[in-house]
Amino acid sequence: MTKQSKTVVFFGSGPLAAKSLELLTKDFEIEAVITKSTPFGHKGLVPVLDLAKKLGIKAYSVDSRMQLDDLIKDVNFASQVGILIDFGIIVSQKVIDYFEMGIINSHFSILPEWRGADPISFSLLSGQKTTGVSLMLLVEAMDEGPLLGYSEITIGPTLTNPSLSEKLVEVSHGLLKDIVPLYLEGKATSQPQSITGKNVSYSRKLTKSDGLIDWAKPADMIEREIRTFIEWPKSHAKIGSVEVIITSAHAAPTINTEPGEFKIEDSQLFMQCGENSLSIDKLKPAGKPEMTISAFLAGYSSRLA
């Protein structure tokens, strides 16, 4: 089959993939979507599959590297190139080689910084001032392929995981829109990741236990965790006898008590940390909606003694 330069095959599974796919349809012809299979018993939305169905794009589901290999062997895709974002399955070299121009991975960090599963979370957790998006030619090794381009942005002090993700999806689309056509025309070449000047580091998948606040950590680190974990796994703590999820806070001077102890002053609640204290702005008591700290103090003071 003659390969076509005007179409792409999209590989993606998560919410970021769905948002990216929606933007890509404005500038590219999507021949097909390949996504992870829906887990047995799953209820609720399946963002990529739902969007593909809505847009009338042919979609294929796989749940392993082997199934992906079989799919590529059995289906004759016409596209010269694949685009991969938030896919969640390791792609073999035979799948990469199937496409004449390979597979382009849009990775949400400035590589080689934060290779791995969750670069956005670890960019926030680290306290770094900038992050960005890298367009990488996929290789079988984890996030080690050469770069077609990258773009850096500032991490504002109030950005949460969702708001930073939204910015990065937009940056990613801008890079793909500008660079992929040039690459297909032979006018964009790849370069080693070392051109960015970043050091190699690795992210990992978050776990539920990451959400349990450790008050021995510095206040500014806990504040970053709260912004990072705002959707999942959420930042859990116990204040007095009340189980809460903290949704907004800021670092404050020390209150000279032991980590995990608190002080109430002028309708504010300060939790002592390993370094400085954390002033809690908003939280959600177990089973209750989010509330301001003043509302919490008014309704729960008897359980804080």
Banded pLDDT at 1 (limits 50, 70, 90): very low
89 lies in the same domain as 116: no
Banded pLDDT at 39 (limits 50, 70, 90): low
**Given a cut of 70, is residue 40 above it in pLDDT?**
no
271 lies in the same domain as 180: no
Q: In whole angstroms, give the CA distance from residue 190 to residue 180.
A: 12
191 lies in the same domain as 212: no
187 lies in the same domain as 219: no
Residue at which a domain ends, from 101, 116, 150: 101
CATH number where 266 lies:
3.10.25.10
86 lies in the same domain as 171: no
| Claim: this prediction has a pTM higher than 0.85 | yes
Q: Looking at residue 301, what is its pLDDT?
A: 87
Give the residue from 262, 272, 274 showing the smallest Cα distance to 300. Answer: 262
CATH number where 136 lies:
3.40.50.170
**Given a cut of 60, is residue 245 above it in pLDDT?**
yes
Banded pLDDT at 302 (limits 50, 70, 90): confident
Q: Looking at residue 189, what is its pLDDT?
A: 94
Domain that holds residue 223: 208-303
Task: Please state, rounded to an integer, the average pLDDT across all residues of the chain.
Answer: 95
Residue at which a domain ends, from 101, 116, 138: 101
168 lies in the same domain as 226: no
Contacts of 298 (CB under 8 A, 6+ apart): none
**Given a cut of 60, is residue 3 above it in pLDDT?**
no
Banded pLDDT at 41 (limits 50, 70, 90): low
Per-residue pLDDT reduced to its tens digit, 223-237: 999 999 999 999 999
Q: Looking at residue 6, what is its pLDDT?
A: 77
Query: In the chain, how many domains are there?
Result: 3
60 lies in the same domain as 133: no
Per-residue pLDDT reduced to its tens digit, 251-270: 999 999 999 999 999 999 99
**Given a cut of 60, is residue 238 above it in pLDDT?**
yes
110 lies in the same domain as 188: yes
Residue at which a domain ends, from 170, 187, 205: 205
Banded pLDDT at 49 (limits 50, 70, 90): very high
Per-residue pLDDT reduced to its tens digit, 55-91: 999 999 999 999 999 999 999 999 999 999 999 999 9
Q: What is the mean pLDDT of residues 212-223?
A: 98
